[in-house]
Amino acid sequence: MLRRLYDWTLSLAGRPSAPYALAAVSFAESSFFPVPPDVMLVPMMLARPDKAWSYALICTISSVIGGVLGYMIGLLLYDSVGTWLFQLYGLTQGAEAFRHSYAQYGHWIILLKGLTPIPYKLVTITSGFAGYNLGWFIVLSIITRGARFFMVGFLMSKFGSTIKRVIDNHFNLVAAVSVAVIVGGFVAFRYLF
């Protein structure tokens, strides 16, 4: 199933709708969707290395806009939608501890967590819930999400053919490691924060 998704994503890269699909996934991941945009971003960059930088920019912009939606969920809807999302992921206790740490370390939390496999939606919702300054939240989100997606763009443009060969030859291993990293991000958030 994952192999078919990978092949489909590679074929999607040549379609005119590809940037819109990437933007939608990146937007959704920052506010409510559990799958990171890298699932689409990496194969699309591999299929079209000439578009790596524009794909990174699309992911950055849509992720920040989606992050503002996540922030608003935390700020305005934490008691209903926000709580439901954290309960869905089994992270309610971690969210409370995370919220309290914003008093001293909010800027570092946003910057560091935006680069890690910890789901960014948890950072965005918690930022709103904690009442972190929206202007600074947006600036820090641009920095951290831009750094993450442009780093992927750099790696794909520099080593794309090698990476594609490794993925094609060892797809099951790469898929297993990718799933482990995603699950590890949720677990890390739950137990560390």
User: Is 4 domain-assigned?
Assistant: no
**Separation CA 183–CA 79 (nearest Å):** 25
Helix (H) or strand (E) holding 48: none
Domain count, the chain: 1
User: Is 161 domain-assigned?
Assistant: yes
Domain with 90 in it? 51-192
**Separation CA 70–CA 32 (nearest Å):** 7
pLDDT per residue as tens digits for the range 46-65: 888 889 999 999 999 999 99
pTM of the entire predicted model: 0.77
User: Is 32 domain-assigned?
Assistant: no
User: Is 140 domain-assigned?
Assistant: yes
Q: Tell me what the pLDDT averaged over the chain comes to.
A: 82
User: Is 110 domain-assigned?
Assistant: yes
Of the pLDDT bands very low, low, confident and very high (cuts 50, 70, 90), residue 114 is confident
Of the pLDDT bands very low, low, confident and very high (cuts 50, 70, 90), residue 182 is low
User: Is 13 domain-assigned?
Assistant: no
**Separation CA 6–CA 12 (nearest Å):** 10
Of the pLDDT bands very low, low, confident and very high (cuts 50, 70, 90), residue 172 is confident
User: Is 76 domain-assigned?
Assistant: yes
**Separation CA 52–CA 115 (nearest Å):** 18
User: Is 169 domain-assigned?
Assistant: yes
